[in-house]
A and B are shown apart, each in its own frame.
Chain A
């Protein structure tokens, strides 16, 4: 089923790329054809992103050649690839946060004179947006947008540029099921128009749902390329992992204890305007996981920030284990017994230039165990760190390595180790598994489930609906800053949750929990 040479839009032969200490790609062959959605499947670290960054001119390969529409290409920069009709949506969006949506689109358009024509770019953007049914605010600044909308801007930007070969790196990692669904519909349309769509993913169900062909990478090598119709979830899992994948362990019922996190009539403003949270009330009991589901940008970030003491509520109050928090004071929240796994691991979760060991004790270095007076007992710090590294399986060259050098999964293990080892009464986890591979996701899920018998109340805010339904004892749905409903996962269907996320409160009439 390899398309004949005349039909290949992308052809990579024998691509090898080495980084210090690791061979990311080892003699990789990859082809894609116009009109197809080609999934590039593999676990984190399998070399998918590296391969595509080579195709997009971000990295130069150490060996191998690239052909685009049959012509041999050597990129000096992504600009060359862009001019040849390629476009890539990176996992970390390549948008300038302080510029408006239109200005970001302008940056992508081929130079036409030296004057900026924002009006022309805005109408171009509006045309593309209407054509593909992707809603965006052209005048908004990018930093004000939720991730779903930022992704739409990224895609529209490349379409406005006229990209015929689109590469998307883990595009659904940040999307709700509904958003992912509409993204897939958009991708299908783009393929039907004769474009080549390459989707990097580690989600098997996505491959099955959306792709025409799939190439599986493992440890930098190609395991195989097959038409999706001729394979199954199980075959792909085996190819990707090299072993059978494991399901989550069953969860023992834990009788819920007293309320450890009490949110009452909470109102808060968002970055983009007033009243991002409207009269939110929610209880989390000891030993209970309460999930918060919702479409990106419906108040989740504000809720997490207010609870963590990072954003001042305009009305209402929060009680953690009985102590009421006033205003925005993260330290008071910590003292009251709150653990926080933030959305932005590298920026908010750790101090990237400090060592793994220092980051592990970052919340506890004031304790007597770590030194007297102003002196810090390095030996005690290192010993505690070594214990946590071991217990949480954090893969790091040494406790002294900078935290910023860890992979996403290990960074999250570090943050969980630190937060849980502080014995919190309540734990807020915001997108705890975004962008993580299967193994790291399992580890995070297990760590969250382990909080139940320990008597910690967990507030799990996530846009991954499967995750919320899988882990939570109760699920609250946020829409437009309001709690639409609170239900037990067993009592509702995914469709009902989806409707609630879209604001249709009547979807659940009669059900309470």
Chain B
């Protein structure tokens, strides 16, 4: 494989990572029955919080914590509205995205153009020397490695722990979970918060590892891609990896084509990852969506004992 191709693959992993974080988080929220369309907003707020903290303290890890906290804080707004107050989840999530977009734009104005010392790539000893796979997967930054661990952890938590069973039950039949003594609201709050944390981390990846700068609206729709990839992944963390890297791959490819000067209009290239995601989503889920495979049965439905 040519060095250029390997470089594109490595870039694909980097470009896919922020989406992967956000997708994993949204999988938890939706598995518990809460649709959170605020991913884009939470990512932006996370990106800004992570960037600002990194600039101020010089520690990207502190930035990461701040981003996680900011994403979680925003997600709890959605949790209170949709779980406790039983508001419409679609409306509440959309509002969250609009709020997060505006908030990050106005607070981040003075940070445009400020440089930050973010996460730097380093090879994992041994693994980094494997041909092709080494440069592609194991000469990345710490957050990419973290995302690998997170995929495994998410899968394990969902399918191999009691909590995972409870949250799947809550998302499928909250009344059954309730009757078995599971605290439906608590599980949902937890899952929405996980969604917020991971969206915030995904945002921080963009501003402290992928680019190391703050640009207004820098997520550029990646939050929405994450929401779409949850469906592509049929709410399964392992399939989320595939979706995120496919998106990242097309992104990396179009950047490469831009750089190598093919003469294709730049805007067409910029559009490519999103169009590609849509097309893949339609093709890959034609059968599964029709049969509602994997869709949590209680998704976007609020729960109360007296009401149902």
Task: Report which A residues bind B (CB closer than 8 A).
Answer: 19, 56, 58-59, 77-80, 82-83, 88, 90, 93-99, 103-104, 106-108, 111, 113-116
Expressed in whole angstroms, the Cα–Cα distance for A115 and B157 within the complex equals 9
B176 CB contacts on chain A under 8 angstroms: 93-96, 104, 107
CA distance A53 to B179 in the complex (A): 10
Assess the A107–B166 pair: CB atoms within 8 A. yes
Instruction: State A94–B172 Cα separation when bound (angstroms).
Output: 11
Kindly state whether residue B161 has any CB partner on chain A within 8 Å: yes
Point out the residues of chain A lying under 8 angstroms from B162, CB to CB.
Answer: 106, 111, 113-116
**Chain A residues closer than 8 Å to B160, beta-carbon distance:** 115-116
**Are A116 and B179 closer than 8 Å at their CB atoms?**
no
Verify A94–B179 contact, CB threshold 8 A.
Answer: yes
**Contacting residues of chain B (268-308) with chain A, CB-CB under 8 angstroms:** 297, 305-306
Contacts from B to A (Cβ < 8 Å): 159-166, 168-169, 172-173, 175-183, 297, 305-306
- Chain A neighbourhood of B177, CB < 8 A: 96, 107
A-B contacts, 5 listed (Cβ < 8 Å): A79-B182, A79-B183, A98-B172, A106-B162, A114-B162
Further contacts, 7 of them, CB under 8 A, given A58-B179, A88-B179, A107-B177: A82-B180, A94-B173, A108-B180, A114-B161, A114-B162, A116-B160, A116-B165
Closest Cβ of chain A to B55, distance in Å, is 38
Q: Are B179 and A78 in contact (CB under 8 A)?
A: yes
A486–B176 Cα gap in the complex (Å)? 40
When distances are taken between beta carbons in the complex, the residues of chain B under 8 Å from A95 are: 173, 176
Residues of B within 8 A of A59 (CB): 305-306
Shortest distance between the CB of A116 and any CB in chain B (Å) = 6
Name the residue of chain B whose CB is nearest to the CB of A56.
B179
Residues of chain A with a CB closer than 8 A to B166's CB: 107
Chain B positions within 8 Å of A106 at CB level? 162, 165
Q: Are A114 and B163 neighbours in the complex by a CB distance under 8 Å?
A: yes
B298 to chain A, nearest CB (A): 10
Closest to B179 in A: A94
Q: Are B161 and A116 in contact (CB under 8 A)?
A: yes
Docked-complex contact B306 and A98, CB < 8 angstroms: no
With CB as the reference atom, state the residue of chain A lying closest to B296.
A98
Q: Which residues of A contact B168 (CB under 8 A)?
A: 96, 98-99
Shortest distance between the CB of B162 and any CB in chain A (Å) = 5
Query: Shortest distance in angstroms between A508's beta carbon and chain B's nearest beta carbon?
Result: 41
A93 cross-chain contacts in B, Cβ below 8 A: 176
User: How near does chain B come to A85, taking the closest CB pair, in angstroms?
Assistant: 12
Nearest opposing residue in chain A for B161, CB measure = A114
Do residues A99 and B165 form an inter-chain contact, with CB atoms below 8 A?
yes
Q: How many angstroms from the CA of A115 to the CA of B162 in the assembled complex?
A: 6
Residues on the B chain within 8 Å of A116, using CB: 159-162, 164-165
Determine if A97 and B180 form an interchain contact, defined as CB atoms under 8 angstroms apart: no
Q: How far is the CA of A92 from the CA of B182 in the complex (A)?
A: 18
Closest residue to A89 on the B side, CB-wise?
A: B179
Contact B172 A99 (CB under 8 A): yes
- How far does the Cβ of B42 sit from chain A's closest Cβ, in whole Å? 27
Which listed residue, A77, A90, A103, touches B165 by the CB 8 Å rule?
A103
Q: A103-B165, A106-B165 are in contact. Are A97 and B178 (CB under 8 A)?
A: no
- A81, closest chain B residue (CB): B181
Taking a contact as CB atoms under 8 Å apart, the answer to whether A96 and B182 are in contact is no
User: Residues of A contacting B179 with CB < 8 Å?
Assistant: 56, 58, 78, 82, 88, 90, 94
Q: Tell me the nearest residue of chain A to B166, going by C-beta.
A: A107
Of the candidates A80, A98, A107, A113, the one whose C-beta lies within 8 Å of that of B180 is: A107
**A94 touching B305 by the CB < 8 A rule?**
no
Contacts of B161 in A (CB 8 A): 114-116
| Closest chain B CB from A62 CB (angstroms) | 12
Interchain CA distance A108-B159 in the complex, whole Å: 17
Q: In whole angstroms, how far apart are the Cα atoms of A56 and B175 in the complex?
A: 13
Chain A's closest residue to B164 (CB) is A116
Known: A59-B305, A97-B173. A78 touches B165 (CB 8 A): no
Most chain B Cβ neighbours within 10 Å, of A78, A96, A116: A96
Pairwise interchain contact B297-A98, C-beta atoms closer than 8 A: yes
Which residues in B have their C-beta under 8 angstroms from that of A58?
Answer: 178-179, 305
Contact assessment for A107 and B169 in the assembled complex, using a CB-CB cutoff below 8 Å: yes
Residues of chain B within 8 A of A113, CB atoms compared: 162
Q: How far is the CB of A54 from chain B (nearest CB, A)?
A: 11
A170 vs B160: C-alpha distance in the bound complex, in angstroms? 35
Chain A residue contacts of B163, Cβ below 8 A:
114
Tell me, in angstroms, the Cα distance from A19 to B168 when the chains sit together. 31
A104 to B165, CA, bound (A): 9
Residue in contact with A77 in the complex, picked from B159, B164, B181, CB distance below 8 Å: B181
Nearest A residue to B168 by beta-carbon distance? A99
- In the complex where A96-B168, A114-B162 touch, is A78 in contact with B180 (Cβ < 8 A)? yes
